[in-house]
């Protein structure tokens, strides 16, 4: 007798794998929608180029989501903003170096 067509015959059930950084709930109350719209407008204006202004809006959007528990809190460095922070630190060191010389 064959098990062809029998329920569960040959079907392997695999356990679903969660996303790497957890869930990303929808913003049902539109708390972060204004900054999201500004970001999308910026991207359209910049024709997809990753301009500093658009990066700041993106950073603000992620911060808004973290502040409202719509995503897990994380450092901006882990979210891809490390190079921007490093540039700011170098600029601050240059400024303080020129002020010390005066």
pLDDT digits 0-9 by tens, 58-96 = 999 999 999 998 888 888 888 888 765 566 666 667 767
Picking from 35, 83, 85, 42, the residue whose alpha carbon sits closest to that of residue 62 is: 35
For the chain, the structural domain boundaries read 28-69
89 is written with which tokens? 């630190």
Residue 42 tokens read as: 């910026």
pLDDT tens digits for range 17-42: 665 665 667 888 899 999 999 999 99
pLDDT-derived band at 4 (thresholds 50, 70, 90) equals low
H or E, element range at 18? none
């Amino acid at each position: 007798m064959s098990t062809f067509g029998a329920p569960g015959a040959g079907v392997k059930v695999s356990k679903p794998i969660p996303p790497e950084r957890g869930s990303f709930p929808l913003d049902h109350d539109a708390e972060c929608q204004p900054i999201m719209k500004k970001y999308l407008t910026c991207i359209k204006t910049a024709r997809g180029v990753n301009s500093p202004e658009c990066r700041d809006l993106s950073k603000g959007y992620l911060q808004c989501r973290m502040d409202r528990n719509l995503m897990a809190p994380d450092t901006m460095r882990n979210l891809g903003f490390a190079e921007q922070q490093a540039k700011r630190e170098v600029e601050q060191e240059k400024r303080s170096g020129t002020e010390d010389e005066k």
